[in-house]
Chains A and B, each alone.
Chain A
Amino acid sequence: MHIKNNNDHHLLLLLLVLLILLVILLFMLTKNRSSLYFAVNYKDTNKSMQKNNQTTRFMQKFTAGYLRFTIDVPEYFTMTDDFTFVDLDSKKGSVHIGRVASNFDNIEDYISFLVEKNHMQITEKHNFIINNRPAIQMKRLEQKNDYSLQRLLYFIYVDGWVYSFETNASALFGDLEKIVNSFQYQPK
């Protein structure tokens, strides 16, 4: 670009100054946002994790009206309770909860059936007990366009029902573990 005269110089200088100001502004905004994010996170953590003698207490106990269970849910989730599912939504992602009426008399066989039918690629699998109920935790790969996600799944076997808890938001893996461990079945 050929600078013809002083006016062009001034214009160029002005543009440069504006560009620098823009960069500074962006930097400041980014910095503030991350600080705010950290502050919000810290506040949420402080409020939501209060140990008592019995269990780690979350801010709300949720009872699913139709699916008949209670769980402890961090306060930053909103709950949707519908016939066949309960959704827990947060800014970090969602947890989906539901159940099927299994024809299997144990959870291991049901999971084998599901893994085969749904062509699941399992990366992890653990058996454990939740409030006296057999349960399985699994991670599987979920194909999402050009990449794969880890999907965390919990299955709990209760009197023929298999309750499932699932999320593909890795930021919620820790929360989901705690939610699942607070699961209590509420028979009629």
Chain B
Amino acid sequence: MKKISFPLKKFSLIVCMGIFLIIPAVREVRATTKAYLVTPGFYWYENQPTTGYIFFYNHITIDNYQPGSVILSKHPDGTGDMNVGDAIQAVGIYPASGAFTYQTDCVNYNPILKPTDITQSVHLAPDTVNNILVRFAHWCYVPKNISPVYLVHTFADEKDTARFLDLPWDYKSKGLNFTDAALTISSYFDHEYPLLSSTLKEPESANNSIIMFDSKNRLDRAYSSHDGYDYAGLAQVHFGDAVLAASDGWAWYDNSCAPCGNMMLIDHENGYQTRYLHLQKEGLLTSITDAKIQVVQGQQIGKIGATGNVSPTGNQGAHIHFMVIQDKNNDGNFEDNIPDGVTDPFGWSPNEPDPWEQYEFYYNNELRTGNKSIYLWKHDLVGLDKTITPAGDTFQMSNYTVNFPEGFIEANLVFTARPAPPPTTQNSGLNPVGIGIDMIIKDFLDNLITTFSDSFTLAVDLTDLDLSNINENTLSFYSTNDGVNWNKEITSVDIVNQKATLSVNHLTTFTLMGEAKDRVTPSTTLSLQGDEGEPLWFRSDVQFSLEAQDNTDGLGIDYTLYKVNEQEWETYTSPLTFSDEGDYHIQFYTADKGGNIETVQEKSFTIDKTPPEAVIYFDDAIHDIITYGKDSSKTSVNTVSNATTITDQAGNIITFTSQKTNSPIEKKLTVHSFGYNHIPIGTNEIHTLKINKNQPQRLRQEYMKNQSLLVTLIYHARKDETMIIEGHTKKTIAGSAILQLTTDKGEITYAY
């Protein structure tokens, strides 16, 4: 019997270790496994060529080795006894080192090797590519039926092993999915810094803002120093609702913290504790402090209450404050890890360092640092980042289901899905339904893959989507790569079962769209009521009303907006009254429930409540006494017999009765009475304007009130000057002065 030149003593020790180190080949469901095929199996005869004693070998490259285990097994899942012939050896080449060997002797021939963990024998370097040589040797001169052999690398993803929490209330029965429930947060965990449960204060630079788990920015949200998550009404957490254990463990009651109210604590026996604050006294799993009761995930431990410090006070402030503490010093006591063990169950996702993890502080005479937060929820948030395998996978994101069938891909790839906002540039007449989905597939070298030889399935649950304005016959998936140009995809729509399905072999963004049922814009009619003169000139208060109408088959009016002058847009609810004089410019439009929006209409009108005044003077050019109106708007003068009426655009009037006498050398106008808007001014005054031109080159104008001469103007053309006599006062001014009588709110005044 020929022997192979392996150092036997060493290898026998290794073999023993290898045998005794057989561990369960299949890890927990949450571990990640990659299988590398060494050989699919073959039959070897003695006369086949060999290289020395080596009759078969294969170099295996393990990508980006993460500390875990490497197992030799028959099946790719790490199970199955192998037929390895006379001997098998796995040798670390680079940067891996060490070797594992199994060999049998030819007398008690045993070619069967059970699944074997070779991690202790072959030392692989982490976070890099490792090369391992696996070779088969012979010396027993018997044919060998070599079975398939795999190198199976299984490693514990940090995220996978620690993801054990669910939300502490029955959100599913309230119609919420995990993401919607988990992100309906009333108060966030403050990564700068969650010190609320300690006596420490934040530095001033950090005490008026928070840093959330997914943003590096300081933000004005609720609230600074908070060390857990508050969930309340909008998350369907109501007073009296059941509070559930977030995971298995041992629960007990504590009421030593007054602001916490009634509190339940659960030690999950994995280094983490969860706390549930503000519970009601009734319904507690136990109200005996320190009496630990074993619980399972989802078991009721209490009821939502408002004990301790809640805002607003009373039952309206009912909420659950949920917090997680890590036993950083592994002493089984969580109290001595407040606040440094306080942890955000959403982890920390920005590229920048987590301020809480970096924070150093003294507490109880010890220098401490904050805690590293990792994602602890069992369920993913909407927006996936997963590995897809050749075995096929199904993923859920909101109301989307993505199914990759077996054989869709040949090697593992990274699949990412995010919600995509509905298109803003809509195809003609198409309305998006719900949000879209943005999908990316990359290989592990970050190369984007957008088309595939096989198809995958994308389905959307229509149950919660608003289809009220969609013509269901036109529902279809549309896809885009640039967010601008959308292509219609062949979609199967099942309204009865509320599902739309697409089979497609390309990416990237998909949105469900359909033609709007109601594509007719509504119309709005404006009505203005008041005392109107000329069109849109009012001399009274104006009542303004809008009436909106939608088409007969439309979805109805949603809202009507109006705007007065430069004011803000307001929602129209009832008629308005405008009282102040001035110009009004109204804009208005209506939108219906189908999203059709009317073009803005406009109307201008004026309110003028002030009647005009009259001006009376002698016009030498036409040698007559003239009357005209004085107003902010245009006026018209109408004289019938002894009555003169001056009207402005709003229909306000001034009327006066007068008597006019005419002769070649004398003109006289006597005003007896006047009034505004048919209301006479009750005076008995008589005003007379008398013009005398009995001498050429001389013009005499007189104004008398009740036969008293108030003013006389005498113009001398040759001197081109006017003498003005008022009572005992006499003065002369250059040029020709014209005497004017003007009505003024019930009085008559003169000027020149």
Residues on A with beta carbons closer than 8 Å to the beta carbon of B188 = 100
CA distance A64 to B421 in the complex (A): 6
Within 8 A of B (CB), among A101-136: 101-105, 109, 113-114, 117-121, 129, 132
- Of A83, A102, A117, A119, the residue contacting B183 (CB under 8 A) is A83
- How many chain-B residues does the 8 Å CB contact rule pick out? 60
CA distance A129 to B570 in the complex (A): 9
CA distance A113 to B409 in the complex (A): 53
Complex contact B217–A113 (CB within 8 A): no
- Of B219, B317, B419, B464, the residue contacting A188 (CB under 8 A) is B464
Interface flags, B392-424, vs A, CB<8A=1, else 0: 000000000000000000000000001111101
Would you list the 7 A-B pairs with minimal beta carbon distance, nearest first? A53-B600, A117-B223, A101-B234, A65-B419, A63-B421, A103-B232, A65-B421
Given A66-B382, A143-B205, output 9 extra A-B contacts at Cβ < 8 Å: A54-B597, A81-B421, A83-B183, A85-B212, A103-B186, A103-B318, A160-B233, A164-B220, A188-B464
Within 8 A of A (CB), among B303-337: 311-312, 316-319
Complex contact A119–B207 (CB within 8 A): yes
CA distance A83 to B179 in the complex (A): 9
Known: A101-B185, A143-B204. A161 touches B221 (CB 8 A): no
CA distance A64 to B419 in the complex (A): 9
Residues on A with beta carbons closer than 8 Å to the beta carbon of B587 = 53
CB distance from A70 to the nearest CB of B (A): 8
CA distance A144 to B231 in the complex (A): 32
B270 within 8 A of A: no
Best-buried of A81, A143, A144 by chain B (most CB within 10 Å): A143
Within 8 A of A (CB), among B494-521: none
Within 8 A of A (CB), among B459-515: 464-466
- How many chain-A residues does the 8 Å CB contact rule pick out? 47
Within 8 A of B (CB), among A47-66: 53-55, 60-66
Q: Which B positions have Cβ atoms within 8 angstroms of A?
A: 179, 183-188, 204-205, 207-210, 212, 214-215, 217-224, 231-235, 311-312, 316-319, 381-383, 418-422, 424, 434-436, 464-466, 559, 568-569, 571, 587, 589, 597, 599-600, 602
CA distance A84 to B346 in the complex (A): 12
CB distance from A93 to the nearest CB of B (A): 11
Q: Which A positions have Cβ atoms within 8 angstroms of B?
A: 53-55, 60-66, 81-85, 87, 94, 96, 98, 100-105, 109, 113-114, 117-121, 129, 132, 140, 142-145, 151, 153, 160-161, 164, 166, 188
CA distance A85 to B383 in the complex (A): 14
CA distance A76 to B675 in the complex (A): 64
Residues on B with beta carbons closer than 8 Å to the beta carbon of A94 = 217
- Of A54, A63, A65, A121, the residue contacting B589 (CB under 8 A) is A54
Complex contact A102–B215 (CB within 8 A): no
Known: A84-B183, A85-B212. A65 touches B316 (CB 8 A): no
Residues on B with beta carbons closer than 8 Å to the beta carbon of A114 = 220-223
